[in-house]
Amino acid sequence: MNNKETLQTYENGLDAYVELTPSEMGNEFGLFWENQLKRFDSDSNILEIGTATGRTADYIESLGYSVDRSDAAHAFVDYQKSLGKDAQLVDILDIQVEKQYDLVIAEAVVLHLTDDNFLQALSGVRETLMKDGVFIFTFKSGEGEEVSTHKMNAPRYFNYWSENEMNDIVKRSGFKVLESGFFEKAHKWLYVTAQKTQI
Ligand SMILES: C[S@@+](CC[C@H](N)C(=O)[O-])C[C@H]1O[C@@H](n2cnc3c(N)ncnc32)[C@H](O)[C@@H]1O
């Protein structure tokens, strides 16, 4: 199953996704973003890939930052616009944006990419970042890949990595890992904070 088919599930399932996704950022994730954002000035250029309902962008904006929202699913871009937010169509596999960013974030997005697609995404994110720019992303730890109809009642592709595996991939792709680790309460969820290096 490829990423396009997963995106089709999001295109068709906007209502279900919005209904099943808590609108408020959980405490643990809120604290996480608060700590991560301390590295950045409030006028930093921030791009979110896979914004979906806008929960993360909303939270980061509540901290005084501004976030360029994007998603590869038209349905989510239109949904953001219906809420009065600016949003653009950006596919992490072929990032076409007009500026370079200090920070790119992708929460629960790369888990929908195959290993090869993920390398492609890292290369694109790297190009999108300014010198010393940072990519922060979350994913679910585990092994292998699967197609699941959980939550959306339609198929989505999921890929899992361990923290070590992920850190090796990121380091081989022109990034330095500044931080990585598990969320304490969010079962199996991991994050990586990676800084673009010169190669
Ligand atoms: C599990 S949802 C996470 C949404 C949101 N970031 C959150 O944490 O609530 C995955 C998101 O990734 C987006 N997505 C999937 N493949 C993508 C791609 N190739 N490029 C950009 N976004 C993608 C989906 O449209 C969806 O919004």
pTM equals 0.97
Determine the residue type at 37: L
Residues with CB under 6 A from ligand 1: 3, 6-7, 10, 21, 49-50, 52-53, 55-56, 71-73, 76, 91-93, 107-109, 112
State the sign of the Cα–Cα–Cα–Cα dihedral 39, 192, 98, 89.
negative
Q: Would you list the DSSP string of 43-76?
A: T--EEEES-TT-HHHHHHHHTT--EEEEESSHHH
Which residue from 55, 91, 112, 114 has its CB within 8 A of the most atoms of ligand 1, so it is best to mutate? 112
Q: How confident is the model at residue 2 (pLDDT cuts 50, 70, 90)?
A: confident
Q: Strand 156-159 to strand 175-182: parallel, antiparallel, or no bridges (unpaired)? A: unpaired
| Cα Rg of the chain (Å, integer) | 16
Do 53 and 74 form a contact (C-beta atoms < 8 A)? no
State residue 148's pLDDT score: 95
> Who contacts 16 (Cβ-Cβ below 8 Å, separation ≥6)?
151, 152, 153
Which residue from 71, 97, 111, 138 has its CB within 8 A of the most atoms of ligand 1, so it is best to mutate? 71
Task: Tell me the CATH number at 162.
Answer: 3.40.50.150
State residue 143's pLDDT score: 96
Number of domains in the chain: 1
pLDDT in tens, 73-128: 999 999 999 999 999 999 999 999 999 999 999 999 999 999 999 999 999 999 99
pLDDT in tens, 153-189: 999 999 999 999 999 999 999 999 999 999 998 889 9
Tell me, in angstroms, the distance from the centre of ligand 1 to residue 43's CA: 25
Tell me, in angstroms, the distance from the centre of ligand 1 to residue 156's CA: 11
Tokens for 127, please give them.
């190009």
Tell me, in angstroms, the distance from the centre of ligand 1 to residue 176's CA: 24
Which residue segment(s) compose the domain that 159 sits in?
Answer: 3-196
In angstroms, rounded to a whole number, what is the distance separating the alpha carbons of residues 56 and 106?
9
The helix (H) or strand (E) run that includes residue 150 is: none
Which atom of ligand 1 lies at the shortest distance from residue 90's CA? 21
Tell me, in angstroms, the distance from the centre of ligand 1 to residue 151's CA: 14
